[in-house]
Structure 1
Amino acid sequence: MKWSKLGKFSAYARAENHLVQQTVHGAVVTCIGVLVAVILVWTELGIYFKPNQLQTMGVDLTRNELMRITLDMTFPALACPALSLDISDISGEGTSDTSVARNGEIHKWRIDPKGNRIAMGEYIPPKHPGGNMGWVMRRPQDEVNMLNQMVDAHEGCNIVGWIDVQRVAGNFHMSIHADNFMMLRKTQEDLAQAIRDHMYSVDESTGSMQIPTDTTSVNVSHTIRKLAFGAEFPGQVNPLDGFERIVDVESGIFKYFLKVVPTEFQRRNGRHIPANQYAVTEYYSALHKGEMQLPAVWFMYDFSPITVTISEKRRSFLHLLTRLCAVVGGVFAVTGMLDRWVHRLVTWVSKQL
């Protein structure tokens, strides 16, 4: 008897079975509530098992380390023999795609007008004993013919590969060298006319021929399929991946200014992944006829002195339990309130009929 007195403090009063009324609209509300509860519980479980990422910042203390640049770019309007990749940094080191083997690997793939790789279409640059100091008249005729055939077929070029660079400010760019520009057949008539009219001069320092010509016809439209600095970690976003720029009328110089942020990703198992993120700003300078510049695509990169550390953390089980209770209790309370409103509405409509 004395324990029965505690019943008056119960917050869950129960009616007799013959006083309980079950309705069709109550069953519909109950089914909806169960469905919503299952969805929310499943969502909470997914959030719980997905690692939470905690980001902290500090001073970058790395020294004398190399960084790998991974590149995948397509130039649909430039043939591979005319396209070159040049790399340099503020330390004075520089290299090109023809001499990158010692610290990288660069491949040029010929592509058709639809953007597909041509079978057995990797382009391997021929080696010239005299280097690139000569002008077009010194190039072998078969090489000139090969480039002209690629131009006639409207071939493009896909540059794929990687290169290790010093962790200092630097740049790399894709363009055509002046001697390659002279090899294009659409400029051969201009070249011959310039020779006939003596419209050329000779640079005394290099002995190379300087011929005024229109370079705006060099189409440097490009698609950046992938550009990454160092290793990649889960969830990383490279802002230039999938980026495309199309030249409609006159060509020009594209410049991408990149700020590379050193990043360290720490997994829950203790594994550390040294990586890099970057932010980018784009600048475009159109060229006009008569300007003695060649269209190009430049990437200027610099390093931030601040490093970001991303750590994976799993939420506690008590946190999950609290959220599940909130979800189930909230759905139960809302569906109960909704059932009462619907019941009152149905009762009122029945009395009006």
Structure 2
Amino acid sequence: MEILNKLKNLDAYPKINEDFHTRTFSGGVVTVISSIIILFLFISETRLFLYSATETKLIVDTSRGERLRVNFDITFPSIACTLLSVDTVDISGEQHHDIRHDIIKKRLDHLGNVIEARQGGIGAPKIEKPLQKHGGRLAHNEAYCGTCYGAETSDDQCCNSCEEVREAYQKKGWAMSNVDLIDQCSREGFVQKVKEEDGEGCNIHGFLDVNKVAGNFHFSPGKSFHHSGINLHDLLAFQKERYNISHKINKLSFGKEFPGVVNPLDGAQWKQGGSSGMYQYFIKVVPTIYSDIRGHKIHSNQFSVTEHFRDENVHPKPLAGVYFYYDFSPIKVIFTEENKSFLHFLTQLCAIIGGVFTVSGIIDAFIYHGNRTIKKKRELGKYR
């Protein structure tokens, strides 16, 4: 019993007889308001506990030899699909012209409606008996081996398409002065295709796989054919606005999507006002790793961008097109999802309840004692 009595003396919460309790209207108002505040903070803290938070960390990017995937979806309302090409160049010296794999082109009418969708390329009709390497026409049961018009590098080389003839000429350093005289090109109907697409636009989407070094990729009207030495001025004249590089970027991203990513060029568009030229986007790519609550990692990228337009009237005259120049930040960002511990959650709840009750008690005491003071002064006739 002596131990129990000593334990009773340690009670930090002495009880007051209910007969000495005084309940007031102001105390009831403070109690209701404080209860609402506690409930609101309790719900808010519970949501924070149930949903994971994201921690951000910055480290130096030491990765090497990686590849970068560029996803794009861009609409050119005034450039025909046949003339629109995609090229890539990087500082390592790797170049790719008129890229066609993993790319889909959609022909658009003047209202933006899709006319036709096809894999990048011309895809034109063929004639029944094309010209053979030996100089004659394709005979019955004879295998087709098209001539390279003197640009062959070996006796068994065949050029069965206009693209293969262009590549053979390019390796020789020759220019194709008249595309209509090339049997493969005429057979594929390139010139006719340009005429048919007069006044059309093009939506081009897909992805590029490039080295993770500084470089650029660009979209231009017929630039790939300039590399082969073909003069396109007559062909481009079939379009009413032959160098109109107005465009809308529906989607542009580097790598995989991850929660919370913001791609600043999604939905961006530019309309050509006067003369044509080169529209440039300078992009700073930031390598990013996103790790979810289960530990799954997504290796991706974020980027920032600035824009610039070079008028065709400057010297040297720029090649018309839309150019994306990208470079990499030496800093890598790591986002990590994590949940708060249950003990931390309990600590926050105790702090909320205790803090609100303490502040409410102070406010209630201030109101109660203030009212009592005013009443006493009135009773003594000192307050009017």
Q: Same fold (TM over 0.5)?
A: yes
1:147 lines up with 2:143 in the alignment: no
Q: TM-score, normalised by structure 1?
A: 0.71
* 3-state SS, counterpart of residue 61 of structure 1: coil
Distance 1:209 1:315, change over 3 A: closer
Residues 336 and 253 of structure 1: CA distance in aligned 2, closer, same or farther (over 3 Å): farther
Are 2:112 and 1:67 equivalent residues in the alignment? no
Q: Deviations over 1:42-76 (max 9, x none)?
A: 2222323313324140342332x322111122233
Percent identical: 36
Residue 189 of structure 1 corresponds to: none
- Partner residue of 1:16? 17
Please list, as runs of the form range in 1=range in 2, the aligned pairs for 1:24-39 lying within 5 A after superposition.
24-39=25-40
Contact (CA 8 Å) 1:255, 1:284: kept in 2 or not?
A: yes
Q: Give me the whole-angstrom Cα distance separating, in 2, the residues matched to 1:40 and 1:30.
A: 15
Distance, in Å, in 1 between the alignment partners of 2:177 and 2:331 is 46
How far 1:174 moved relative to its partner? 1.4
Find the counterpart in structure 1 of residue 362 from structure 2.
337
SS in 2 for 1:80: coil
Alpha carbons 1:60, 1:262 under 8 Å: kept:
no
Q: Tell me how far apart the structure 1 counterparts of residues 27 and 265 of structure 2 sit (CA, whole Å).
A: 54
Q: Does 1:43 align with 2:40?
A: no
2:114 corresponds to 1:118: yes
1:1-353 correspondence runs (5 A): 12-49=13-50, 50-63=52-65, 65-97=66-98, 99-101=99-101, 105-111=102-108, 117-118=113-114, 120-122=116-118, 125-126=121-122, 129-131=161-163, 133=176, 142-148=192-198, 151=199, 155-177=200-222, 206=229, 208=231, 218-288=243-313, 292-343=317-368
Higher strand share: 1
Name the aligned partner's letter for residue 282 of structure 2.
F
> Which SS does the other structure have where 2:31 is aligned?
helix
Displacement after TM superposition at 1:285 (Å): 2.3
Q: Shift in Å at residue 268 of structure 1? A: 4.0
Match of 2:129 in 1: none
Structure 2, unaligned stretches of length 5 or more? 125-160, 167-175, 181-185
SS at match of 1:81: coil
SS at match of 2:273: coil
Is the contact between residue 80 and residue 123 of structure 1 (CA under 8 Å) also seen in structure 2? no
Distance 1:272 1:95 in 2: 31
Q: TM-score, normalised by structure 2?
A: 0.66
Structure 1: give runs of 5+ residues left out of the alignment: 182-204
* Amino acid corresponding to residue 27 of structure 2 in structure 1: G
Letter in structure 2 aligned against 1:276: N
Asked whether the equivalents of residues 86 and 172 of structure 1 are also in contact (C-alpha less than 8 Å), the reply is: yes
Greater CA drift, 26-35 or 290-299: 290-299
